[in-house]
Copies of this chain bind each other. A is one copy, B any other.
Amino acid sequence: MSRALVTGGAGFIGSHLVDRLLAEGWEVTAFDNLSTGRHEFLGQAAGHDGFRLVEGDVLEDREALAEAMAATDVVFHLAAHADIRFGVDHPRRDLEQNTIATFNVLEAMRGAGVPRIVFASTGSVYGEPSVHPTPEDAPFPVQTSFYGASKLAGEGLVAAFCEAYGMRGWIFRFVSILGDRYSHGHVFDFVKRLRRDPGTLEVLGDGTQRKSYLHVEDCVGAILLALERAEEPLNVFNLGNDEYCSVNDSVGWITAELGLDPAIAHTGGERGWVGDSPFVFLDCARMHALGWRPGVSVRDAVLDTVRWLTANEWVLEAR
């Protein structure tokens, strides 16, 4: 039996990973400060003997983190400040919660002798890429967001720790992930705003931004498959869908699913906000070579998310 520590284990992706690990017989510690994570997401895990939740902060509680590391085989470091859009209002937040916190996790691993780390990075590290679909060895990117910059820094730290101390690392550059327990991002915002005002919907940018989305179950499956099959000291993988859609497509699916026909007000411009990439589409050939394929289309990932949000309105209320 293997022991996992999942930082951000009460969050959207983290809690799905916790469930999957428990189902596969791992012992799992979730480490979460519950700032955006939720007890509700751990309802299934809580009943499991092999599970425990440690409430702690990867930035502030270095002692608790060190203790939680004991006898761990793999750290899944998912805790992060994941809101790319508001980086310009709080640039230090991304530095602290994504870069310095990742350093803390790696140092705690080194102290406890934990040999393997899975790191949740982002396709945002490619900035506005010149190549689509974008492969992992795309031309050296220029950062356009504090979020991307902070995750790029985290990747660099993971790589340097692996090189220096013989750890092994799996870095995943995600597109936006959708599905049950999704609790921030554009689908969340649209559904929430349409509940208040079903007649109009403001869309950031001109709506032609092209994006790829992956369902959280596909995401978690890919992580565990790569952990099993990718054997390098450091393994870097894009993780996204084989297709993309426009923001306007996504808006159409969401409003149709809700049975609404709002007036759409585009704010205009190629980008929705500073750091928004007009075209996100990752080349996932490396993951495909391991035998992985996404099972849920972009459209179904959006629709599943709308249905879950509609069935779980407390999530919309809480923000």
Min CB gap A113→B, angstroms: 16
Copies per complex of this chain: 2
Interface residues of A in 194-209 (CB under 8 A from B): none
Min CB gap A135→B, angstroms: 9
User: Which of A87-95, A215-223, A246-254, A286-294 participates in binding chain B?
Assistant: A87-95
- Judge whether B142 and A148 touch: CB under 8 Å: no
Residue A255 is within 8 A (CB to CB) of chain B in the complex: no
Q: A160-B143, A275-B160 are in contact. Are A95 and B103 (CB under 8 A)?
A: yes
Interface residues of A in 130-158 (CB under 8 A from B): 136-146, 148-150, 152-153, 155-157
- Judge whether A91 and B152 touch: CB under 8 Å: no
- Judge whether A142 and B234 touch: CB under 8 Å: yes
Bound-state CA distance A48–B161 (Å) is 45
Residue A100 is within 8 A (CB to CB) of chain B in the complex: yes
Selected contact of A140 from candidates B91, B100, B141, CB within 8 Å: B141
Bound-state CA distance A142–B162 (Å) is 11
Q: Considering the complex, give the chain B residue whose CB is closest to the CB of A89.
A: B164
Bound-state CA distance A136–B142 (Å) is 10
Residue A59 is within 8 A (CB to CB) of chain B in the complex: no
**B contact residues around A314 at 8 Å (CB):** none
Residue A99 is within 8 A (CB to CB) of chain B in the complex: yes
Bound-state CA distance A163–B145 (Å) is 7
Min CB gap A69→B, angstroms: 17
- Judge whether A139 and B142 touch: CB under 8 Å: no
A-B interface, 3 closest residue pairs, ranked by CB to CB distance from nearest: A149-B156, A153-B153, A143-B159
Q: Which residues of A contact B (CB under 8 A)?
A: 87-88, 91-92, 95, 99-100, 103, 107, 127, 136-146, 148-150, 152-153, 155-157, 159-161, 163-165, 234, 236, 274-275
Known: A140-B141, A144-B159, A146-B160. 11 other contacts (CB 8 A): A91-B107, A91-B160, A91-B161, A91-B164, A92-B103, A100-B100, A137-B140, A139-B140, A144-B160, A144-B163, A145-B160
